[in-house]
Amino acid sequence: MTFRLRLLLIATLLLPPQAWANPDLVVVVNARSGVDRLSLDDAVNIFMGRYRQLPSGIPALPIDQPEAQPERALFYRLLVNKDLAEINAYWARLLFSGKTSPPHQAKSTVEILDLLARQRGAIGYIERSQVDSRFRIVLDLER
């Protein structure tokens, strides 16, 4: 275990109990995408590389949270009931076969919000508290 990982684990254990609560994750698109709702199956197919377009017909740009963000692990657990090691193995196989590419991995939440606001076909997952008029909630993962 690396020093950085140990430090992160210790810091996490010292968090107050309310910090352990799951964030209220929602799947959002650009408000100009022409998409009002997505089924869970649609979201799975977009984020797992099976669909390359949104239901409105425009090219999809799925965006992942940075790998170290706890929202990413929670998202894939809620979406396909897999941990990040399983997701990474899935993408390694697909990349090797040359079939498709994984979602764009953002470097920060700020980048995610910026891409979602600028790219008409962008789709991502964020905490409900980060949603504003630039985005449309298309799938509520917590309900």
Could you tell me if residue 9 is inside a domain? no
Domains in the chain, number: 1
- Burial of residue 82 (CB within 10 Å: 0-12, 13-18, 19+) is middle
Mean of pLDDT values over 104-121: 96
| Tens digit of each residue's pLDDT (9 = 90 or more) over 74-110 | 999 999 999 999 999 999 999 888 878 899 999 999 9
Please give the mean pLDDT across all residues of the chain. Answer: 87
pTM above 0.75, yes or no: yes
Domain that holds residue 110: 22-140
β-pairing verdict for 61-64 and 135-140: unpaired
Letter for the amino acid at 105?
Q
| Tens digit of each residue's pLDDT (9 = 90 or more) over 14-45 | 544 434 445 799 999 999 999 999 999 999 99
Instruction: Return the CATH number at 92.
Output: 3.40.190.10
Could you tell me if residue 63 is inside a domain? yes
